Amino acid sequence: MIRNLAVAVLLLSPALAVAGPTLVERLAAGDVQRGDRIVSRQCAVACHTFEKGGGALVGPNLWGIVGKPMARREDYRYSQVMRERAAQGGIWTWEALDAYLAGPRDFLPGTSMTFVGLERPQDRADVILFLRSLSDTPQPLSDTG
């Protein structure tokens, strides 16, 4: 009886179900090298460059993106919606990167980005940590959440 009641409560109250790790927890458990491998598989051939001073390919160079304004590269023509988001003060925060990597078209409807996103939350955290490493002065993890 009690077991059936507990099951009924869980089914009727999805908010009571245990959520996955927070972004802060995922970043703390993250792996930069794994993020590098994910990026290499997903987009490093023709989409983006990652080295300091690198030029644009199909997408902009991603060196130093974490914590910086969106659409900041002068050598790349961003989509109209990305330029509008940047004009509204869009910053590549940890949360913004997580949301964008989960689904660029959901985060920024109308984007020209063809990448569909990374479904696994830990994959996104690993990629964010890899992007964080692309900087002379990486954004402190203490700036999360």
In whole angstroms, give the CA distance from residue 21 to residue 27: 10
pLDDT of residue 13: 42
Residue 15 in domain: no
CA dist list (Å): 15 to 3, 9, 18, 137: 19, 10, 8, 39
- What 8-state DSSP symbol labels residue 15? G
Q: Name residues whose C-beta falls within 8 Å of residue 10's C-beta, 6 or more positions apart in sequence.
A: 16, 17
**pTM, entire model:** 0.84
CATH number of the domain that 138 lies in?
1.10.760.10
Q: Residue 120 sits in which domain range?
A: 21-143
What is the total count of domains within the chain?
Answer: 1
pLDDT of residue 18: 60
Residue 78 in domain: yes
Q: Helix crossing, 121-133 with 32-42: angle to 10°?
A: 100
Residue 76 in domain: yes
Residue 8 in domain: no
In whole angstroms, give the CA distance from residue 25 to residue 129: 12
Measuring CA to CA, which residue among 95, 108, 104 is closest to residue 47? 104
Residue type, 42: Q
Residue 30 in domain: yes
- Over its length of 145 residues, how does the chain's per-residue pLDDT go in tens digits? 444 433 443 344 444 446 799 999 999 999 999 999 999 998 766 899 999 999 999 999 999 999 999 999 999 999 999 999 999 999 999 999 999 999 999 999 998 888 899 999 999 999 999 999 999 999 998 776 6
